[in-house]
Amino acid sequence: MSKPFFGDIKPVKYEGPKSDNPYAFRHYDPKKVVMGKTMAEHLRPAVCYWHNFAWLGTDMFGAPTFERPWDGETMKGARAKADAAFEMFSTLGFPFFAFHDRDVVPEGAGLAEFGRNLDEMTDIFAKKMEATGVKLLWGTANLFSHPRYMSGAATNPDPDVFAYAAAQVKNAIDATHKLGGANYVLWGGREGYETLLNTDLRREQEQLGRFLSLVVDYKHKIGFKGVILVEPKPQEPTKHQYDFDVATVFGFLQRFGLEREVKLNIEVGHAVLAHHSFEHEVALATSLGMLGSVDANRNDYQSGWDTDQFPNNAPELVPALYFILKQGGIAPGGFNFDSKVRRQSIDPGDLLLGHIGGIDACAAALVAAAHLIEDGKFDAARDERYAGWDKREAQAMLKKGATLEEIAARVAKEKIEPKPKSGRQEFYENLLNRYL
């Protein structure tokens, strides 16, 4: 671009909680050590390409509101977009970014031209990454925007669409691999149904399972060391999606023998749409050994769709950070800000402000969660609640070979009469709030 997109805004630095500078971090100090790692190592923040540079402020009721100099389906525009993107990455100092193939280049007249465009941009990205030190958290293919995917990609009733999607994913994985991406994400935006009247559930899920297996096979064939991630979402754009939530996806992966090959990328907004909390999805994923990465955002609780707002409520994030820390961290995943400024936020600087507030909220939650763990009272109380299971006779009930008859006989012999014990929910809530 002929001039900086963000004007004279200086690189964002940490200035502490008392700073009045809107373009400064108040809680996120990349070099601050928390539980043996820096904040940057814990959070591994990433800027998403799509909301920041591909979305023009449209909604279903209105035209674009953002002025983006790179607007238009040309490679010249794509190169200008890349200039602005890496200007933003450097200004924020975030170590990672993420993209869909269609975010970064025009599709062109067909798959061959699309592939050439992506190859050219991959080379451009490689040079910019070397110059700035910014890395790729993950890449993915957009298998939902084009009309060909209106009935799904892998789950489409037309096998030619399945084949086209497979070729598109191959190109996207190749680009991700070439750029040293830490992960590759599959989000089935339209892998679901609008009505069961025209849907063969068994057939479509078999197709989706086979598609995932092909992706895993190709990863190993080319030597891609990154993690394959699936991103659960219950609805929108389809009425019902096969990757509904963590539990559903885990069962699906087990069905096709992929639970050791694929992990999950969990988005806050998608958890809310599934009528779960973010911490529920994170806790379940960590308990199953399936948490790979996080899309950091929030939903408007008064709206029934995915609003992709920047996170701004640190207390809501503390339980999720607690579970992430307890599993030893999130690397090679990270906190990708799958968030967009509001349609009325038309100044370039608003893009920076959203990320500054979002990473500050995550950093404050990280510190609180670390204090919660280091103090030990919270974990001690949880351990005490389950202490009875440490006894020999309790452990024996869980071992293979135990029988209902033996357990019933022990209850009769020892005259076991359990008394209800308080779950102390208020105690746990109050204890957590001490660390905010």
Beta-bridge partners for 13? 24
Residue whose token pair is 């209105």? 62
Q: Report yes or no: 112 and 144 within 8 Å, Cβ to Cβ.
A: no
By the 8 A CB rule, do 271 and 243 touch? no
Is-catalytic flag, 103?
yes
Strand partners, 201: none
Identity of the amino acid at 237: P
**Catalytic site includes residue 100:** yes
Q: Report residue 271 as tokens.
A: 């958890």
List beta partners, residue 121. Answer: none
CA nearest neighbour of 340 among 142, 93, 66, 96: 66
Look at the alpha carbons of 235, 173, 38, 291 in this order and tell me if their dihedral is positive or negative. positive
Of 29, 83, 101, 103, the catalytic one is 103
User: CB of 94 within 8 A of CB of 46?
Assistant: yes
Catalytic residue chosen out of the listed positions 100, 270, 276, 280: 100
What are the catalytic residues? 100, 103
